[in-house]
Every structure is written in C-alpha cells, then in structure tokens.
Amino acid sequence: MPPRVDGVLFRATIGCRGLTVEKVGQFYSSTVVPASDKNESDQTQCVLQLNSYSVCPDTDRAMGLAPHTDTSLVTLLNQCNINGIQVYQDGARWVVVEPVEGALVVIVGDLMQIVSNGRFKSVLHRSVVNNTCHRVSTTFFLGPWSDAEVSLLRKLVDSAHPPLYQPVTGEGYVQLKYTVFNKALESICV
C-alpha cells in the first residue's frame, strides 16, 4: 500500500479508536460504574474495514450484506452520504438509516449487550445495494483482545436484574458466532 494511503488509514483508525473509547466511556458513565472498574478499554483492539458495493440493476436479486448483528462492543459506520444500511425495527420491518452529512452511525454490538447485561441491545442490521450508484462505506469495529474475558459489569446485577449471560472470551465468542451465527447470544444465556 502506498505510504500516503497507509498514513491516512492509520490516522483514521487512531481517530475512530479514540471516539469509540469515548463512547464506551459514556456507557460506563450512564451505568454509574466507578472509575476503578473502567479498565477494559486497555484490553481492546480495533479493525477498520472499507466496503465497496457495486451498482446493481436488480436490487431485489442481490444483498450487500445479509442480516446480522456485529460481534464487536461498538461499531462506527460512515455511510459516505449514500444510504445502504437498514435496521430491523420492533421485530417487524426494515428501516433505512438515512445518512446525515458529517455523522457516523453508532451500532451496539453483541459484546456490549453482554457487558451491559442486556441494558444495551445489539442491533440487527443489513447492507443493501442500490441501482443508481456505486457505494463505499467505512466501518470501524472495537472489541476485546481474543483472550480477554467478556462478562457483564457486576454493578449492573441486582435482584431486579439477574445475570443474563455467561462470561466468554473474545475469540470464544467469535468462534461461537461463526458456528451458530445470529443465535450466539442465545447460546450463552444463563
């Protein structure tokens, strides 16, 4: 890869990581977790993914990316001002996420659902192609190191909110997701 492009991707990754860690920090704040429990961001890794979706003359016969939830803690998506992501709303219908100039879409992943003991739900979504223009998107995933244990924050457990999920390692969950796909969360329910 040319050094100029490599430098741009590196800076984008560093910027996205900082923003995502900030969002995870806001989650901690919203759940009233003391500072001493906020050490998990030291055990995170990130991936920056560039996606390209060609023009498709018959959009009913092609899918950009099948319905899924993200494995990550948090995903940031830049739609590059062309819609192409849809979320499944209320278990009933697909809703287009309209792009907003200069905005990122923040997607809660499965691992955040585990850590939050179900307080934050991972989002079923899909990517679709369109018949008028080539679409490019940039996706940033923040997750744990493969050997890091992912478990709920104990401060979120009480008599009204019992534990919902068994602890799992980052790699263990990735393997589980590979095996049972969108039933991975169900398979680690307590």
Edge-to-edge strand ranges of the sheet holding 93-96: 65-68, 125-127, 85-89, 93-96
Asked if pLDDT for residue 115 goes beyond 60, the answer is yes
What was the pLDDT predicted at 63? 80
Q: For residue range 51-80, list pLDDT tens digits in order.
A: 888 888 888 888 888 999 999 998 989 888
- Locate tokens 């030291």: which residue? 42
* pLDDT of the residue at 174: 93
Q: Is the pLDDT of residue 11 over 80?
A: no
What mean pLDDT is predicted for residues 86-97?
A: 92
Confidence of residue 46 (pLDDT cuts 50, 70, 90): confident
Q: What is the mean pLDDT of the chain?
A: 83
Nearest one of 51, 48, 29 to 38, comparing CA atoms: 29
pTM given for the model: 0.82
What domains sit in the chain, N to C, each tagged with a CATH number? Answer: 3-144 (2.60.120.330)
pLDDT score at 124: 96
Please indicate whether residue 133 or residue 40 has the higher confidence score (pLDDT). Answer: 133
Range in 23-27, 90-94, 149-153, 185-189 with the lowest mean pLDDT: 23-27
As a whole number of Å, the CA-based R_g of the chain is: 18
Active-site position among 11, 17, 61, 135: 135
pLDDT tens column, 130-185 = 888 888 888 989 888 889 899 988 888 999 999 999 999 999 999 999 999 999 99
- What does the pLDDT average to over 98-108? 91
Q: What pLDDT is attached to residue 7? A: 63
| pLDDT score for 33 | 44
Give yes or no: 135 in active site: yes
Give residue 81's identity as a one-letter amino acid code. Answer: N
Nearest to 151 by CA among 188, 181, 187: 188
